Amino acid sequence: MAGLKLVFALLAFAASVFASSVELVTPLGVRATSYCGQYDSVTSGNYILYLDQWGLDDATSGSDCASITSSSGSEIAWSATWTWTGGTGVKAYTNVALNSGLNQKLSAISSIPTSWSWSQSITSSSVADVAYDLFTSSSSGGSNEYEIMIWLSNTNSGPISYTYSSSGDAEPIASSISIGGYTWDLYYGSNGSNYVYSFLVQSGTITSFSSDIMDFFDYLVDYEDFSTSQYLTTVEAGTEETSGSATLTTSSYSVSIST
């Protein structure tokens, strides 16, 4: 009996060690650590992988784990697997953020070239989106004032808006905007902390996106009186998770800021 107790104790210890630090082996044989903590982050080159489970307390149960699968030069590959139940608010924005070239006025930026190839396995009843998320401030290093989102995918979710239809759908402030070879609808509202502009692709999902993000700012400057004196503080790309289950796999992602 004592021998059996020792065996069970060793098995329990091994299980706890495995659960606290998981390593994934990618198809290329690269070992990728999977991060699952609420605000875990890891830096690789010009990027930071953030879990950012800021709405975790609204969930009844769930989890969110992400890992960098490769990183070379200006490109990075990463994946995230999540499942959430309970609550109607966003639970997390698992993303990769740029950590170079920021805190410059829009007037000083000539282009923000980006390329993002990704795929997603998601349950049909899930509520989520795949999007870029950018923030600006009126001063370098100051508090964020504006949030600009570019949605490449929308699964049963919806953008922030000041106006909604009788059926509860957000209403755009502009429709059929042509940017980067795609057609977008633009929404505007406030999340209580920032004014939020959201560009949603009008139909379908963009799983291979190559564009200049500066074109979206140019539109806001030309048609929404957005100030070029705003400082670009944050450039992120990832998945906003509300409920359900999904795995987002980014095979290649890059973004940079050119002046």
Q: Which residues are catalytic, by number?
A: 147, 240
Name residue 8's beta-bridge partners: none
By three-state DSSP, how is residue 29 classified? Answer: coil
- Alpha-carbon distance of 29 to 10, in angstroms, equals 29
Tokens in use for 108?
Answer: 């000083």
- Alpha-carbon distance of 30 to 224, in angstroms, equals 46
Q: Are strands 113-122 and 208-212 parallel, antiparallel or unpaired?
A: antiparallel
- Alpha-carbon distance of 29 to 26, in angstroms, equals 5
Q: Note whether 134 and 232 are within 8 A (CB).
A: yes
Positive or negative, the CA dihedral 234, 80, 195, 181 is: positive
**Alpha-carbon separation of residue 172 from 67, 160, 164, 197, 227 (angstroms):** 35, 10, 9, 10, 21
By three-state DSSP, how is residue 202 classified? Answer: coil
Q: Are strands 146-155 and 195-201 parallel, antiparallel or unpaired?
A: parallel
How far does Cα 156 stand from its chain's mean position? 17
How far does Cα 238 stand from its chain's mean position? 2
**Alpha-carbon separation of residue 52 from 13, 117, 179, 197, 213 (angstroms):** 29, 22, 29, 21, 23
